[in-house]
Every structure is written in structure tokens, then in C-alpha cells.
């Protein structure tokens, strides 16, 4: 296993789903499946024992919900580093927001294609949130009815007055899923400068991670 190989675990009580993910992972040298679980309690034990980097978690499990699994992972100092992606059939805005608030870094639907699933896994390993486009559209449509929608290159001063122009630009790219490396390339600045901007943004907005940043930006940005 290479140094940059992503350690992945699957939590789903349906064998056919787990087999399908196995098929998706065939030939992906940068992802190693280290474990599987059928229940929430098995998932938590597996996280402690196997230390996966990324975990795909179904919402509905036989014992506790996938969202509770995520919450327990994040509240435990031994497993808080696990990046959890909710993989579900529920195209539900409230569930998605609850999952992200619990600490999930991604929320994607089981009918997604191979490329989106791989993108979600790789993004999670890089600390970059990824939410199903269907969920994002629902959130935008609810918060910003079409009659009030308008486009903007990045949030303006009236939306986030506490941020500098550069910080608003960085925030806009964060919401698009840019990694630190991609941000540095796009803005022609160093990665350390990107990290400084992101730390300042999080401090000023009272948020702790990129998932919260995306929710904050969607609520504040004019569409």
C-alpha cells in the first residue's frame, strides 16, 4: 500500500450495495478497502480497530442511524479524524443538512455514477466536502426562490462584511470544492497563504470545517 493510498471502509447492511462498491473500486490503485460493517455498532468498532481514512455510511442501519454513527465518530478523539460520507437513497434536504451538521464531509445518493463516488472518496480524503447536486439545488431553491436569484462572482461585502475581498474569493472557491492545492494554483499564491486565509475565514465566520463553510456560503451568497 502506497503512502498516499486512501484507507476506505463501508457501512451498509445490504450485501448487494457493498458488492457494487467493490466493483467500483476495481483497478483504483489509490483506494484500499480495509473493512466492512453491517450495523452502526460494528462501524464504530471497526473505526477504532482499523483506522480508515474515509468511511461510506448508509443512513438507515439496523441498530443506530448512519448520522448517529457520524456524530459518535466525531465526538470520539480516537476516531474524529475519520472522514464520513453519507451514501443513501434519501434525496432529502433535512437529512443532508443534519448529516453535515453531525460532521459528515459528504452526502451522495446511491444512484450516483462511478465517477462521482470516486470523486467523493478522493475529495473526502483531501478534506473537501462533496454534496449531491440534487441536494444542493434543493437547498438553493428553498433558501433563494428563483424570483430572488441572481449571480455573483463571489459573496459581496453585504453578505460577508467581516471578510476581506481575497477571503471572499477564497470562500467562493472553497464552496466549489477546491482543495488547498487547487486554490493555490487558481489564485497564484502559496499553499501556506491559502491555509492562513482559510483559518481566518473560519475564525471570522465561527465555523470549524469546509462542510460548515459551504452551508454558510450557500446561506449568504446571492444566487
Q: How far is CA 148 from CA 56, 134, 142, in A?
A: 36, 20, 11
Supply the Cα-derived Rg of the chain in whole angstroms.
18
Rounded Cα distance, 1 and 217, in Å: 37
The CATH number linked to 201 is 1.10.10.10
Is 109 in the same domain as 185? Answer: no
**What pLDDT, on the 0 to 100 scale, is given for residue 2?**
56
**What pLDDT, on the 0 to 100 scale, is given for residue 136?**
67
Does the predicted model carry a pTM greater than 0.75?
no
**What pLDDT, on the 0 to 100 scale, is given for residue 212?**
65
Is the residue at 51 inside a domain? yes
Is 190 in the same domain as 175? Answer: yes
Is 154 in the same domain as 105? Answer: no
Is the residue at 1 inside a domain? no
Is 128 in the same domain as 28? Answer: yes
Is 98 in the same domain as 200? Answer: no
Decide: 171 and 213 in contact? Cβ < 8 Å. yes
Query: How many Cα atoms sit within 13 Å of 129 on the Cβ side?
Result: 26
Burial class (CB in 10 A: 0-12, 13-18, 19+), 212: middle
Is 99 in the same domain as 20? Answer: yes
Three-state DSSP state, 39: coil
SS (H, E, C) 40-101: HHHHHHHHHHHCCCEEEECCCCCCCCHHHHHHHHHHCCCCCCCEEEEEECCCCHHHHHHHHH
DSSP 126: T
Q: Any alpha helices (H) in 80-190, and if so which ranges? A: 93-102, 114-125, 133-143, 165-175, 180-187
- pLDDT tens digits for the chain (223 residues)? 556 899 999 999 999 999 999 999 998 999 999 999 999 999 999 999 999 999 999 999 999 999 999 999 999 999 999 999 999 998 887 888 888 888 898 899 998 889 889 989 998 998 887 787 777 666 655 544 444 444 445 555 556 678 898 998 888 787 766 778 889 999 999 999 999 999 998 888 877 767 667 666 655 543 3
Is 102 in the same domain as 166? Answer: no
Q: What percent of the chain has pLDDT over 70?
A: 79
Is 85 in the same domain as 160? Answer: no
Q: Work out how many domains the chain is built from and give that number.
A: 2
Q: How far is CA 72 from CA 35, 79, 80, 124, 218, in A?
A: 18, 9, 8, 18, 26
Please identify, among 83, 115, 139, the residue that sits at the C-terminal boundary of a domain.
139
Is 12 in the same domain as 65? Answer: yes
Is 164 in the same domain as 126? Answer: no
DSSP 10: E
Is 32 in the same domain as 132? Answer: yes
Please identify, among 139, 171, 197, the residue that sits at the C-terminal boundary of a domain.
139
Structural domain boundaries, residue 182: 146-220
**What pLDDT, on the 0 to 100 scale, is given for residue 144?**
44
Amino acid at each position: 500500500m502506497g503512502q498516499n493510498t486512501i484507507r476506505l471502509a463501508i457501512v451498509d447492511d445490504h450485501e448487494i450495495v457493498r458488492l457494487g462498491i467493490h466493483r467500483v473500486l476495481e483497478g483504483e490503485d489509490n483506494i484500499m478497502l480495509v473493512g466492512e460493517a453491517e450495523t452502526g455498532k460494528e462501524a464504530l468498532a471497526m473505526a477504532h480497530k482499523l483506522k480508515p481514512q474515509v468511511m461510506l455510511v448508509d443512513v438507515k442501519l439496523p441498530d443506530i442511524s448512519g448520522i448517529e454513527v457520524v456524530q459518535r465518530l466525531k465526538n470520539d478523539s480516537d476516531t474524529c479524524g475519520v472522514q464520513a460520507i453519507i451514501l443513501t437513497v434519501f434525496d432529502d434536504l433535512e437529512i443532508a443538512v443534519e448529516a453535515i451538521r453531525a460532521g459528515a464531509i459528504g452526502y451522495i445518493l446511491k444512484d450516483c455514477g462511478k465517477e462521482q463516488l470516486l470523486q467523493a472518496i478522493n475529495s473526502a480524503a483531501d478534506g473537501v466536502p462533496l454534496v449531491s447536486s440534487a441536494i444542493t439545488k434543493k437547498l438553493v431553491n428553498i433558501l433563494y426562490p428563483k424570483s430572488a436569484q441572481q449571480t455573483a462572482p463571489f459573496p459581496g461585502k453585504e453578505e460577508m462584511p467581516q471578510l476581506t475581498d481575497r477571503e471572499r474569493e477564497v470562500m467562493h472557491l472553497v464552496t466549489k470544492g477546491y482543495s488547498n492545492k487547487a486554490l493555490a494554483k487558481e489564485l497564484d499564491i502559496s499553499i501556506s497563504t491559502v491555509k492562513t486565509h482559510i483559518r481566518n475565514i473560519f475564525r471570522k465566520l465561527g465555523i470549524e470545517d469546509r462542510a460548515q463553510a459551504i452551508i454558510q456560503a450557500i446561506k449568504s451568497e446571492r444566487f
